[in-house]
């Protein structure tokens, strides 16, 4: 079987590269940048991809992969930092760019096998500060932008290629075609791997790990934990016990809906725990978002530990952690963007033999694919993403009961109006943020000094990159009027029109 090795330099989009490759039925694995040449040779890759990363190649502490990869006689593709690494390795010059590029840029391509079948002018997705000032010997420019003279380069004789943009992200118009050209036109690989292999392999590993032990699953009601539960259920059957913890930060009417869907409709062995007072009291006076996440992460674990003791001996805890959680929490070789409660927010000591995270290396769209193959209904598989800490990280500053009630009501109105407008299936995620800003308004000829709420709506596939949703202005007007008229203590609505990057989807 042909295999691709991805070298991880700590890039935020590393798993998107893997997804693009897997989608084309090619098996791949991710190794850290400091993997030994012996380990790489043992993997026996048919091709190598060098990922992006947050570092500058000309700095002393810049990560550098073993030089032996260029002696393996397999094609190499460098992406962003990966291309800069190639340029530096072959004595090119990399410097800080006079003009940084973030988000969508117009790409102009030259004649190159990397761009076969791609228009000479197209849209790519950039996220870089450094650039290649001088090409290494025997390399030529394969593409450029108005501000980046080397947006792609190639050495066709050695089959070494590099792109400064990110072909792996969804908002790069022909990115998948670029990767496809590399895999099939340049590397001549044979597509013979499929997602069902992941399910079979994962179920077998869980069976081997858990044996006849009891397994506790942290079920939030979202797609990630539901798919994780279904996957583990296939491996351990009735030994799986699901626990849903209502931490007091759920959306309006959501707890009742979760209990109905999973216990009554799906027949899960579900224990529902009312822990609202416990969690809300722990956040009293807390304003830092990282501290919120860590507190919630620890309280989740302690609650599960207590429930496990009531059940009896439980060795394993299942979580629906997915790859964006790991990446943004600084997992593997990346830098921390935000600590997800179920990753970096976990306490150092937990009273379980092991935590099982069967979806840890998958993206949201891959999780949905697994869910469908496991037979879960669309009502669960296509559910809108909702963070584990819930509304607590959609309230900027201290979390109070008053703010929670305001946000629940406003969020309910927003979602209702989006559904009425027929946009619910066209927008990947949409929600309200309580900004903690007060502003002057006038209502009924009286001065008000109330909260400003922000609307956030994005289009995406996997959550790793996202663009702000173009909600029609007349719909935004209806939403704004409905919230201000129906929700107390609100007199101003703003709309967030920032993509990811540079922003993240959630505000905290």
- Higher pLDDT: 315 or 433? It is 433
pLDDT band at 351 (very low <50, low <70, confident <90, very high): low
Regarding pTM above 0.85, the answer is: no
Examine the pLDDT at 264 and tell me if it is beyond 70: yes
- Partnered with residue 141 across adjacent β-strands are 153
Which pLDDT belongs to residue 326? 65
Average pLDDT over residues 247-258: 90
Confidence of residue 300 (pLDDT cuts 50, 70, 90): confident
Residue 22 has pLDDT above 50, yes or no: yes
pLDDT at 454 over 80: yes
Per-residue pLDDT band at 487 (split at 50, 70, 90): very high
Task: Give the residue from 404, 406, 400, 389 showing the smallest Cα distance to 493.
Answer: 406
CB atoms within 10 A of CB 364: 22
Active site residue 398: no
Q: 189-193, 289-293, 315-319, 361-365: which range is least confident on average? A: 361-365
Query: Please, where in the chain does CATH 3.30.300.10 lie?
Result: 394-495
60 torsion bin: left (phi>0), alpha (psi -120 to 50), beta (else)? alpha
Query: Predicted confidence band at 332 (pLDDT cuts at 50, 70, 90)?
Result: very low
Q: What is the pLDDT of residue 40?
A: 95
Residue-level pLDDT at 319: 87
Which CATH number applies to 195-381?
3.40.50.620
Answer yes or no: 210 catalytic: no
CATH 3.40.50.880 location in the chain = 3-186
394-495 architecture in CATH? 2-Layer Sandwich (3.30)
Given a cut of 70, whether residue 344 has pLDDT beyond it is no
H-state helical runs in 340-445: 364-373, 378-381, 401-420
What's the CA gap between 214 and 316, in Å, rounded? 7
* 269-299 tens-digit pLDDT: 899 999 999 999 999 999 999 999 899 988 9
8-state DSSP, 373: H
* Average pLDDT of the chain, as a whole number: 88
pLDDT value at residue 347 = 41
Distance, first Cα to last Cα, the chain = 43
Q: Indicate if the pLDDT at residue 329 is higher than 60.
A: no
Q: What is the pLDDT of residue 99?
A: 67
Mean pLDDT throughout 166-186?
92
Say yes or no to pLDDT of 116 above 50. yes
Considering the candidates 20, 28, 80, 187, report the single residue annotated as catalytic.
80
| Residue 80 known to be catalytic | yes
pLDDT for residue 417: 97
Specify the domain boundaries for CATH 3.40.50.620 within the chain. 195-381
- pLDDT at res. 437: 92
DSSP-assigned states of every residue in 122-189:
EEEEEEEEEEEEEPPTT-EEEEE-SS-S-SEEEETTTTEEEESS-TTSTTSTTHHHHHHIIIIIIS--
Using pLDDT thresholds of 50, 70 and 90, give the confidence band for residue 497.
very high
In CATH, 3-186 is 3.40.50.880? yes
114-118, 359-363, 479-483: the lowest-pLDDT one: 359-363
From 55, 148, 168, 340, the catalytic residue: 168
pLDDT of residue 75 exceeding 80: yes
pLDDT at 445 over 70: yes
Catalytic residue among 55, 89, 128, 166: 166
Element containing residue 259 per DSSP (H, E): helix 254-259
């Amino acid at each position: 079987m042909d295999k691709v090795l991805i070298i991880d330099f700590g890039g935020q989009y590393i798993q998107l590269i893997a997804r693009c490759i897997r989608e084309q039925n090619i098996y791949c694995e991710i190794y850290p940048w400091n993997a030994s040449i012996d380990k790489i040779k043992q993997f026996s890759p048919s091709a190598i991809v060098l990922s992006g990363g947050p570092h500058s190649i000309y700095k002393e502490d810049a990560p550098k992969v073993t030089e032996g990869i260029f002696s393996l006689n397999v094609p190499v593709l460098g992406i962003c930092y990966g291309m800069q690494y190639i340029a530096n390795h072959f004595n090119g010059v990399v410097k800080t760019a006079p003009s940084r590029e973030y988000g969508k840029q117009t790409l102009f391509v030259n004649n190159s096998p990397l761009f076969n079948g791609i228009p000479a002018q197209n849209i790519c997705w950039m996220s870089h500060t450094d650039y290649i000032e001088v090409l290494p010997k025997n390399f030529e420019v394969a593409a450029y932008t108005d501000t980046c003279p080397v947006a792609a380069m190639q050495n066709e004789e050695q089959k070494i290629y590099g792109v400064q943009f990110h072909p792996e992200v969804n908002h790069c118009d022909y990115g998948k075609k670029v990767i496809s050209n590399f895999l099939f036109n340049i590397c001549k690989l044979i597509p013979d791997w499929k997602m069902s292999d992941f399910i079979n392999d994962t179920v077998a590993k869980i069976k081997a790990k858990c044996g006849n032990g009891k397994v506790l699953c942290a079920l939030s009601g979202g797609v990630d934990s539901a798919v994780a539960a279904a996957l583990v259920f296939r491996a351990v059957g009735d030994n799986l016990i699901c626990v849903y913890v209502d931490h007091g930060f759920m959306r309006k009417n959501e707890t009742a809906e979760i209990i109905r869907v999973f216990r009554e409709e799906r027949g899960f062995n579900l224990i529902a725990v009312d822990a609202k007072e416990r969690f809300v009291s722990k956040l009293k006076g807390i304003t830092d978002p990282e501290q919120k996440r860590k507190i919630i992460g620890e309280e989740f674990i302690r609650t599960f530990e207590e429930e496990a003791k009531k059940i009896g001996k439980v060795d394993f805890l299942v979580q629906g952690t997915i790859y964006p959680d790991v990446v943004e929490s600084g997992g593997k070789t990346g830098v921390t963007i935000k600590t997800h409660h179920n990753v970096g927010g976990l306490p150092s000591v937990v009273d379980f033999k092991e935590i099982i995270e069967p979806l840890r290396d998958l993206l949201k769209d891959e999780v949905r694919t697994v869910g469908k193959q496991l037979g879960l209904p669309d009502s669960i598989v296509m559910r809108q993403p909702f963070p584990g800490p819930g509304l607590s990280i959609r309230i900027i500053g201290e979390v109070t009961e008053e703010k929670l009630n305001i946000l629940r009501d406003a969020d309910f109105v927003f979602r209702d109006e989006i559904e009425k407008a027929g946009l619910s299936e066209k927008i990947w995620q949409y929600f309200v943020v309580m900004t903690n800003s007060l502003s002057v308004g006038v209502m009924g000829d009286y001065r008000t000094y109330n909260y400003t709420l922000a609307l956030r709506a994005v289009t995406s596939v996997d959550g790793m990159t996202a663009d702000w949703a173009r909600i029609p202005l007349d719909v935004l007007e209806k939403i704004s009027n409905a919230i201000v008229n129906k929700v107390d203590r609100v007199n101003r609505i703003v709309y967030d029109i920032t993509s990811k990057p540079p922003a993240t989807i959630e505000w905290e």
